[in-house]
Structures are given as structure tokens and as C-alpha cells.
Amino acid sequence: MSKKSYLAMLTFIIVFTLLFSMLSGCGKKTTSEVEDWPKRPIEWVLAVSAGGGTDIFARNMAKSLGEILNADIRVDNKPGESGRYVLRQPADGYTWTATHEIATTQLLQPETEFNLKTWAPIANIQDDPRWMVAFKDSSFSNAKDLIEYARTNRVTVGGVSAVGPDAVAVFFLNKHAGTKFEYIPFDSTAEVITAAMGGAIDVMTGSLISFVPQLQADQLRLMLVFSENTIAKFPDVPTARGLGYDVVMSTYRGIGVSIETPEYIKQKILDAIKEAVTTEFYQDYIRKNFLDLITDIAYLDDAEEQLARLHDMTKEFLTGIR
């Protein structure tokens, strides 16, 4: 082999080795880089106003996660603007969103690209099913009689929002059970409760966290729950599925990030969530608010599957009411 050929081959080997080393290391982070995140405040952006179930969840979870990650996690309420806002932020793990908003925002704001193709759930931490409830002085004593009556008579159901999970649950119950429940939207749970107490509506739908004072005062009758399985704490309350109507509707509360967020950051958030949900602070919060009824946490692909189902149901609901 000539000297010229030898040098050419040696050069090729060196260049190839360097290129291979660069490619094989692509996406991998050193220990120092992993430990370096987060190094500034994290913004957890919500589409809801302060004070609701999702807001309270985020603030409690932010406290636990902040201590674990040694970070300042700031909950930022941006009703009507959260999807547009988070899309403008870099995919660096410093902007979080509520997972259920990933599934539904684009359906309500078609011009945005805030969806399951651009944002991904780390985990759905809370599975908070919808319930149908009534005050104990109601003429309805059980779900079977209520549903049978609603097939031929007008029964009003109050809930929060004209397009939220309360409305979707009632829509699909009407579809599968052949009922004629008339859904009446309100701006807040307080308004729903006041209307029911005054006889303006027959029954209510919502999350149990919305009815904690009334439950503690033993004023409510739990009629029906839209969960996948019977709730162990309330074994006598039937599920819609158990009565033969395939309706499952929950609010999934969790953390989502841009799909382009580096994997090592996603993993660090995931590990922190797994630790945070075991803390006494978080466990005390969910016990006091009837949020420990379903304790299974859906991570990554399982969370995405839940959100895809929520997306499809919300899409069918919006098509049906237009």
C-alpha cells in the first residue's frame, strides 16, 4: 500500500470513529446535565381559574414536586389562553400543562395545534370520575328509578360548564340509556348546589370534591358514578357500566409537557411524581377531598390512551350538540 493510500485510509478511519462517537452520544446527557435541571422556575399553566379542582390539585402537587426537584413551581392560570401560550414556549421542561387540556383544547380552539401530537402526558395522577347526586329530600331514591323516569319525563341536571365533563357525561347517558335528561350549565358548583337546594334543578353532576361540605353534613344521596369500576368506598353506588350503559367520564389531572422535551427531563419529572404521590402531605390532601377513591396512576402511554378516549368522547359530544 502506498503512503498516500495509507494516509487516506487512516484519515477515513479517524473521521468515521469521531462521527460514530458523536452520533452514539447524541441525546445522552451527562450526570451533571441531568442534575442541572431544573435551574430556574417551572411554570405550570392551567386553562382554568383559581379555586377549582384542577387548580387546587396543581397547587398541592406543585408544593410536593417543588421540594423533591428543589425548584420553584409556579401555577399560572390562563383561562382561554393556555393552549396558545404554551405552544410559544421552548420544549425545555420549564413549561407544564394540565393533561386533560391536551385532549380537549384544540376541539374548542381549532386554530391551535395544542393536542396529543404536540404535547404528551407524563402522568394522569388523579382519575376523578363524574357523579350524579341529589339532596336526600329528592323524590329520586336510586339510579334505576331515576333513569327509568327520565326516559319519558323531563329531569333537569345541573353541572359546571356547557362543554365540560359534566355535560359530556349527561350527553352519553342520554345516548346509551335513552333518557331525556336536560342538562343545565352553571358557572360554578356553588351555583349548582344553590339551584338544587331551591328546587330549580332535580339532580346534580360533578366531582365529589365539589360537594365535600354537603357530604360531610350527610345531605346528599349518591345516585350514580361514571367510573370504570365500582368505587370500593361506596360499593352500593352503581356505575353507569354496571347498569348496562357504557359511559365512563373522568377528569384526568396530571402533568404534560411538549412532546419535544428531552427524555432525561421527562424521566426526572416522572420520577418526582412517583415520589410526590407517596408523601403524607399529598395523601392527606386526597383523603380530605374524596380524591383517593381511584388510586391507580396512569403513566406515559397509559395516560395518553386515557386522553385519547377523552378526546374522542368530547369530539362526539361537540358534534352532537351543534
Instruction: Give the separation between CA 265 and CA 69, rounded to whole angstroms.
Output: 11
CATH, domain 36-128+251-321, list 3.40.50.1110, 3.40.50.720, 3.50.50.60, 3.40.190.150: 3.40.190.150
Q: Which residues pair with 225 in a beta bridge?
A: 131, 239
Q: Nearest Cα to 242, choosing from 257, 255, 258, 225?
A: 225
Q: How would you class 32 by CB atoms within 10 Å of its CB: exposed for 0-12, middle for 13-18, buried for 19 or more? A: exposed
Nearest by Cα to 98 from 245, 310, 274, 287 = 310
What does the chain come to in residues?
A: 322
Which sequence spans correspond to the domains of the chain?
A: 36-128+251-321, 132-225
Give me the sheet containing 181-186, strands edge to edge. 181-186, 155-160, 203-206, 131-135, 220-225
Say if CB 69 and CB 272 are below 8 A apart: yes
Same fold, 36-128+251-321 and 132-225: yes
Pick from 229, 246, 248: nearest CA to 238: 229
Q: What is the pLDDT of residue 159?
A: 96
**What does the pLDDT read at residue 181?**
98
The H-assigned helical ranges of 180-299 are: 189-197, 212-216, 263-276, 280-288
- Would you state the pLDDT for residue 322? 82
DSSP three-state, residue 95: strand
Question: Which pLDDT does position 49 carry in this prediction?
Answer: 85
Choose among 72, 63, 65, 70: nearest CA to 41: 72
Q: Looking at domain 132-225, which CATH architecture does it have?
A: 3-Layer(aba) Sandwich (3.40)
pLDDT at 15 (0 to 100): 46
Please provide residue 221's backbone torsions phi and psi, each rounded to the nearest 5 degrees.
-110, 120
- Which triple of cell numbers denotes residue 239? 356505575
Q: At residue 199, what is the residue type? A: G
| Cell triple for 264 | 432525561
What ranges make up the beta strands (E) of the chain? 42-46, 73-77, 95-98, 119-129, 131-135, 155-160, 181-186, 203-206, 220-225, 250-258, 298-299
β-bridge pairing 119-129 and 250-258: antiparallel
Q: Residue 8's pLDDT is what?
A: 55
Torsion (CA) 112, 114, 118, 124 in degrees, nearest 10: -170
Report residue 290 as a C-alpha cell.
374524596
Strand partners, 251: 128
Q: Name the stretches of the chain with pLDDT < 50.
A: 15, 18, 21, 23, 27, 32
